[in-house]
Structure 1
Amino acid sequence: MQRGSNPIGPRQDDQRKHELQGYLKSGQSTHAEDFHDPEPPADDDPAAGSAHGSLQTEIARHLGRAAFPTDTAGLLSALEEAHAPGELVDNLRRLPQDGRYKTAADVSRALGESAA
């Protein structure tokens, strides 16, 4: 049993989590004042407005550094194990079968995208 300075017991804590679950999943702000919310991305933000910038970011996000260096088969296998979105896996299926990659930027370049 957890001991600490929490005045709410475990049962009440679980009940409150259940009550707030819908609100937290709604996508609405959970802050009482607007200035606490992060600003939306700008129209000229490369990650938001550029398909190749987001491709490189998505590859890095789902694989991390430990996946590199690798080949095309290793990339596809690692993405499937990481439960990456199907669209990302489909993009990487366009890679040459004999390709070797040291970074996510190498993968992006191999797909004909400029590295962001």
Structure 2
Amino acid sequence: MADNMQRGSDQLSAHRDDEAKREIQGRLKAGHPTRAEEWADPEPAADDDPEITVGQLPVPGTSDREELADEALRSDLARHLGRHSFPADRRALERSLLDEHAPEPLVETVRELPGGRARYGNVQEVMVALGRKPQA
């Protein structure tokens, strides 16, 4: 009975699932289509297709560089700290960033936080303490 059970939303059998993984491995390693049938290859991008942007897109209507820098900082802090890091003081946040192998400029920014007994409950509070604009 267990052999007939589906795994999550997977519609393939275990054997077909493994076969599909092997098929995609060739394409990933080769860096180009590996099928002999030309009809099975994806269509290349057209000249008038929009460029794909890598990285963070600006918020519509926002042209202020400082706001974009604040948003990038907030995003980096949230990505490297996560919810598990809070509540914490400056030293604990610095340790968390170092443990996560965060970029040195981000660690330096956290070192600018007031020391002492100040504790931060989330990234928003860190942004306010740094004198940066919190998320709207």
Q: Percent identity?
A: 30
Q: TM-score, normalised by structure 1?
A: 0.68
2:68 maps to 50
Q: CA deviation at 1:45?
A: 6.2
Structure 1 residue identity aligned to 2:97: L
1:77 maps to 2:80: no
SS at match of 1:3: helix
The one-letter amino acid paired with 1:101 is: Y
2:65 and 2:84 map into 1 onto residues whose CA distance is 23
Give the Å deviation of 1:44: 2.0
Match of 1:18 in 2: 29
**Over aligned residue pairs, what C-alpha RMSD do you find?**
3.4
Identify which of structures 1 and 2 has the higher relative contact order when contacts are C-alpha pairs closer than 8 Å and 6+ apart: 1
Could you list the per-position Cα deviations for residues 83-105 of structure 1 after superposition, in whole angstroms to 9, with x for gaps in the alignment? 11111111111112222100101
Contact 1:60 1:104 in 2 (8 A): yes
Q: What corresponds to 1:28 in structure 2?
A: none
Equivalent residue number for residue 93 of structure 1: 111
Task: Give unmatched runs, 5+ long, in structure 1.
Answer: 22-30
Distance (whole Å) between structure 2 residues aligned to residue 100 and residue 115 of structure 1? 17
**1:51-102 CA distances to partner (integer Å, 9 max, x unpaired)?**
2222122111111112111111110011111111111111111112222100
Distance 1:53 1:9 in 2: 38
Do the aligned residues in 1 keep the contact of 2:67 with 2:133 (CA within 8 Å)? no
CA pair 32-88 structure 1, distance change in 2 beyond 3 A: same
- Greater radius of gyration (CA): 2
Aligned match of 1:68 in 63, 86, 103? 86
Task: Structure 2: state its 5+ residue gaps.
Answer: 1-13, 33-43
Q: Distance in 1 between matches of 2:76 and 2:24?
A: 35
More helix by share: 1
